Amino acid sequence: MNEFVKVPNTTPPFNEWAVNYVNSEALALYDTKPSKKQMEMIIDPGSDRYGSLRAAWQATMKEDVRKNDTYRVYIDWDSAEHGGIAPNEEIKVVHLSIKRLDRDIIVDYREFMDIKDQLVGEEYEAIMLFPARDREHDTSNQYHLWIPMNKADDIPVQVPFGWDNGRHVWDEEKALRAGAKQRPFE
């Protein structure tokens, strides 16, 4: 996998972003765009929706954006500041929002591992959450990794479940000897 580079966050000014966001949401949900009058009501600072739109835009503006030849990753270095959940006040959770540049699907464990390793570090653990349906976010071929770390010093926090008996990685030959199948490592 090619190295990631920091790229500018190209989030547009609030009004443009809000119009695009609301139009996309309306098209997805209702197959129509809001009228000009409805849109003006939604992005009016006195509207019920304005505060949540503004907060979402501000969070998007703060994201650190990285890109390589295949992926664009938006990094929120403390997701609890923008609506994410952290287990307690001593832990922050970094959120990686990952999309392929061609918008295709990603189903490769090794790709996610390489992205996490390059952008946050090999010593950190990440979770891809399959939440209860009432918390599900599935709006595009976009994937989310959640990485817990100590808020004070960014020391990795081990996820309190999973394997705890060392590293076990088999190449194609070892897997075959054990009666399993493994693709080659590049």
Per-residue pLDDT tens over the stretch 6-48? 999 999 999 999 999 898 988 888 999 899 888 888 888 998 8
Of the candidates 129, 4, 8, the residue with the CA atom closest to the CA atom of residue 71: 4
Q: Is residue 49 pLDDT above 90, yes or no?
A: no
Of the candidates 70, 89, 84, 105, the residue with the CA atom closest to the CA atom of residue 147: 84
Mean pLDDT of 108-129: 96
Q: Is residue 185 pLDDT above 90, yes or no?
A: no
Of the candidates 130, 148, 132, 129, the residue with the CA atom closest to the CA atom of residue 88: 148
Mean pLDDT of 93-118: 96
Higher pLDDT, 170 or 98: 98
C-alpha 176, offset from chain centre: 35
Mean pLDDT of 83-101: 94
- Would you place residue 174 in the very low, low, confident or very high pLDDT band (cuts 50, 70, 90)? confident
Confidence at residue 36, expressed as pLDDT on a 0 to 100 scale: 87
